[in-house]
Amino acid sequence: MKNERLRMVTAAVLLLTPCVVFGAASTADDRIALSVDGSTLTGTNGGGGGSVGWLHNFDADSLAAVAVEHQVIANARWTFGSLSGSLTRGSGGARYTFYGEVHEGAGEDGPRAFHYSTQAVGVIGTWFHRFSAQLEDRQIDVKNIHGNLPKLGLSYLWNPHLLTSVAYAYSVNGNLGTRLTSIRIDTYGSKLSFLAGVAFGQASAIVLGNVADQVVVLAPGHQLKEGYVGVTRSLPRLRSDLTLVADYQDLSGIKRATLTLNYVIHVGHAGAAR
């Protein structure tokens, strides 16, 4: 989801990922993340946006990132900055990653201005290099929609080439009205990797990244059906990766299709490239 999806390669595609692997194989690495997207939305002329971010691994177990993103959909537009970080501790069969992220900005919905603010903290435990559990709490305050959205995620690495994940998010206060289940599968190859997933349940439009009036009038608590697929192409000679993700959402009859292109390039020493 453009949530979790997202977001920064996040945050890219930081918005709809049940389990995120933080850190890099090398001890230090710098990357520039660029993203552009275009959307269609029922009853409107759609929209689009883009982001630019910088990610730095201080070592194999610590990561910091900053980014700025701008989005337009229907008659709404908003811009926000992002700051995130993670720290991994443990060794052998048990490792724990603690992470946090902040997104702050503002926008306009026609003649009306609004504040955009989301924060999240979480922990991911990984045991025996295969099984992971994620516990996260996300606070959302956008326009007239606000609340906390805890999430529990589980993932299993069947082999070096196949990862499956499931997650469940349930809003506990405010007016998010969200009870969302998501399922995802990732396959990894030497040059090509693929991802696919679905999400379904009750959801607020704000959780999905839409702030146009045509969608927000449905919030909170309308039914979501979502599916997405993506492919990542490794470009070793350019020390970069290119990812294309197609996402389709149907929120109680309001339909949105989004195509997102992410490009991540390593800008540190040659030994830091994957």
* Res 210: pLDDT: 56
User: Does the pLDDT at position 263 exceed 90?
Assistant: yes
* Res 221: pLDDT: 56
**Domains of the chain (ranges plus CATH)?**
29-272 (2.40.160.40)
* Res 149: pLDDT: 93
The model's pTM is 0.84
Higher-scoring residue by pLDDT: 144, 201: 201
- The pair of structure tokens assigned to 162 is 């196949």
Helix (H) or strand (E) holding 214: helix 213-216
- 6-20, 67-81, 176-190: which has the minimum mean pLDDT? 6-20
User: Does the pLDDT at position 115 exceed 90?
Assistant: yes
Higher-scoring residue by pLDDT: 260, 254: 260
* Res 97: pLDDT: 97
What gap in Å lies between CA 273 and CA 62, rounded to an integer?
16
Per-residue pLDDT tens digits for 84-99: 999 999 987 899 999 9
What DSSP character marks residue 190? Answer: S
* Res 60: pLDDT: 86
User: Does the pLDDT at position 230 exceed 70?
Assistant: yes
Does residue 72 contact residue 98 with C-beta atoms inside 8 Å? Answer: no
Q: Which amino acid is at 26?
A: S
* Res 208: pLDDT: 63
Which residue, among 131, 123, 121, 97, has the nearest Cα to 23 in the 3D structure? 97
DSSP assignment string, 26-79: SS-EEEEEEEEEEEEETTS--EEEEEEEEEEEEETTEEEEEEEEEEEETTEEEE
* Res 209: pLDDT: 65
Angle at 269 between CA 264 and CA 274, to 5 degrees: 50
CB atoms within 10 A of CB 128: 9
ω before 220 within 30° of 0 (cis)?
yes
User: Does the pLDDT at position 2 exceed 70?
Assistant: no
* Res 21: pLDDT: 40
Per-residue pLDDT tens digits for 157-216: 999 999 999 999 999 988 888 899 999 999 999 999 999 999 999 987 766 665 444 444
User: Does the pLDDT at position 125 exceed 90?
Assistant: yes
